[in-house]
Structure 1
Amino acid sequence: MKFTPIASATLLTTFTLANPALAANPEHTRQLLATKQCSRCDLTDAGLVMANLVGADLSGADLSRANLSRANLMGADLRGANLMGASLNGANLTGANLSGANLAAADLRDTFLSQANLVGTTLVNANLLGAVGLPNYTGNAEDFYRWGMAEAERDNHQRALDLLNQALAMKPDYANAYLGRSMVQFNQGDRLAALADSKKAAELYNAQGDQMGVKVAQQVTEGIEQLNKPKERRPSFGENLLGLLQGLAGLALQMGYI
């Protein structure tokens, strides 16, 4: 059994555009695949699954709704490109230049974004679950918190921990992130770290005058402390503590704490 820190507030679902669109210009598609030079090309709805586009020049190109799943776009120039609603699921965007690009409602699940330039990039409603290498400037502490809790829901505990650490680096007094990280650490089996974070969350909620937050964090702390005791020293309800903690996680979700 485990905490289930459901992050329903993330709502990072990729939007499907309802209106049918014209297909990509076939000449532009051939040009791209043959030369990797297609600045300002019309590649709307193009099928480019697993395409080798390393270093390609796609600056200003229209790639709206294009399927670039698992494409290799390492080092590609995508400055100002329109990728609205595009699928980049599992794509390699390491070192790509996406400055000023429109990635609204794009599917960026499990993409590799290390050293990518995302300055001025539009990421509204983009699905970033599992994305690796998100630079801090792509979001605020609340964004990284939501992304972290969404990863925790998928049992991607290490990614969740990394994102929550980024949230706390940006906002060291972020009580929700401490409580969320406590639950992730609990799921990883690190009860001592989970306990320290739940206590820190309670301290911060108290300092911020959030008494409901204090109550939830203290109950989580008490539950973890009981589970840290040998079985014979636990109270009679000890075997139900994990269920209790799951219930507290649900309460924390309802109150907006996770």
Structure 2
Amino acid sequence: MKFNFSFAAIVFAVSSVALPVRADNIQHTSQLLATKQCPSCDLRNAGFVLSDLKGADLQGADLSYANLSRADLTGANLMGANLTGTSLNGANLMGAILVGANLTGTDLRGAYLVNANLAGTDLRMAYVEGTYGIPDYAGTPENFHAWGAIEAQNGNYRAAIDRYNTAITLNPQFAPAYLGRGLALFRLGNYGAAERDAKVASALFEVQKNPSGVEAAKNFAEVIEVARQPMNQGGGSNIGNVITGIGSLLLRFLF
């Protein structure tokens, strides 16, 4: 019993010492909401859901694990901010400055990034499903291809096509992006465009001496042909197997 009492006393003492840190956080939270000026502030775990933070100065602020879901951060200065684990789900970041910000584990799903400055940031560890307006320079062809695959796996085929289009813009010889885009087009019922992408992917894989890629692209072309068959010619009975095979083809070239 003496040990338990001593342990409880220690925990209480440590908690008491930590209270001023929390008070500073509250002070900075109030400062931001009142003035929109809070550079280098301690805003860890703070809540700003749906807040109007247009043009806010948050340069160098620590916003780790804060909740800014659906906040309006249009034109906000987040240069060098720590956004580790921060929720920016559905936030408006149009024109925001995110130069050098830490985006590790940042939830950017559904966020609006049109004209945002993401120079010096790394989106590879962020969640970008449904994120709108990711600039071309914010990732490699491999990154955009992987993001497209994630969108496709979640049934967001149009968003997947946008990601694959960016990968192809960055590297017109990136065969897996054509295959991924073709699969997304196929799921949207655009068999003609899907077939064209399958042929391009096959030709590129052949030039690049990638036999498994050539085989996958050719198998996909056959899948499209089967899907085009009228139901009374057996096409319908094979559609289930065809669609099942699409997922494995997509994962094959995820990286």
Instruction: Provide the C-alpha distance between the structure 2 equivalents of 1:254 and 1:187, rounded to a whole number of angstroms.
Output: 15
* TM-score, length-scaled by structure 1: 0.85
CA spacing shift, 1:208–1:163, aligned 2, 3 Å:
same
Partner of 1:104: 104
Deviation digits for residues 66-109 of structure 1, max 9, x if unmatched?
Answer: 11111110110111111111111111100001111111111111
Instruction: Provide the C-alpha distance between the structure 2 equivalents of 1:197 and 1:155, rounded to a whole number of angstroms.
Output: 19
For structure 1, list consecutive stretches of 5 or more residues without a partner in the other structure: 1-21
Where does 1:91-240 land on structure 2 (aligned, <5 Å)?
91-232=91-232, 234=233, 236=234, 238-240=235-237
Partner of 1:7: none
Partner of 2:252: 255
CA contact under 8 A between 2:69 and 2:88: conserved in structure 1?
Answer: yes
2:242 is aligned, of 237, 245, 256, to 245
Instruction: Provide the C-alpha distance between the structure 2 equivalents of 1:27 and 1:257, rounded to a whole number of angstroms.
Output: 46
Partner of 1:30: 30
Of all paired residues, the percent bearing the same amino acid is 47
Higher RCO structure (Cα 8 Å, ≥6 apart): 1
- Give 1:212 shift: 1.7
Q: In structure 1, what residue type is equivalent to 2:236?
A: E
Instruction: Provide the C-alpha distance between the structure 2 equivalents of 1:204 and 1:240, rounded to a whole number of angstroms.
Output: 32
Instruction: Provide the C-alpha distance between the structure 2 equivalents of 1:145 and 1:178, rounded to a whole number of angstroms.
Output: 9
Instruction: Provide the C-alpha distance between the structure 2 equivalents of 1:231 and 1:246, rounded to a whole number of angstroms.
Output: 16
- Give 1:135 shift: 0.2
- Give 1:129 shift: 0.7
Q: In structure 2, what residue type is equivalent to 1:244?
A: N
Q: In structure 1, what residue type is equivalent to 2:159?
A: R
Partner of 1:87: 87
- Of residues 132-141 and 174-183 in structure 1, the stretch that sits farther from structure 2 once superposed is 174-183
For structure 2, list consecutive stretches of 5 or more residues without a partner in the other structure: 1-20
Q: In structure 2, what residue type is equivalent to 1:30?
A: S
* TM-score, length-scaled by structure 2: 0.86
Runs of 4+ in 1 over 4 A off after TM superposition: none
- Give 1:139 shift: 0.4
- Give 1:166 shift: 0.4
- Of residues 219-228 and 175-184 in structure 1, the stretch that sits farther from structure 2 once superposed is 219-228
CA contact under 8 A between 2:82 and 2:101: conserved in structure 1?
Answer: yes
CA contact under 8 A between 2:93 and 2:112: conserved in structure 1?
Answer: yes
CA contact under 8 A between 1:60 and 1:80: conserved in structure 2?
Answer: yes
Larger fraction in helix? 2
CA contact under 8 A between 1:179 and 1:257: conserved in structure 2?
Answer: no
Where does 1:42-53 land on structure 2 (aligned, <5 Å)?
42-53=42-53
CA spacing shift, 1:217–1:122, aligned 2, 3 Å:
closer
Q: In structure 2, what residue type is equivalent to 1:28?
A: H
- Give 1:157 shift: 1.6
Q: In structure 1, what residue type is equivalent to 2:55?
A: G
Instruction: Provide the C-alpha distance between the structure 2 equivalents of 1:245 and 1:200, rounded to a whole number of angstroms.
Output: 20
- Give 1:118 shift: 0.4
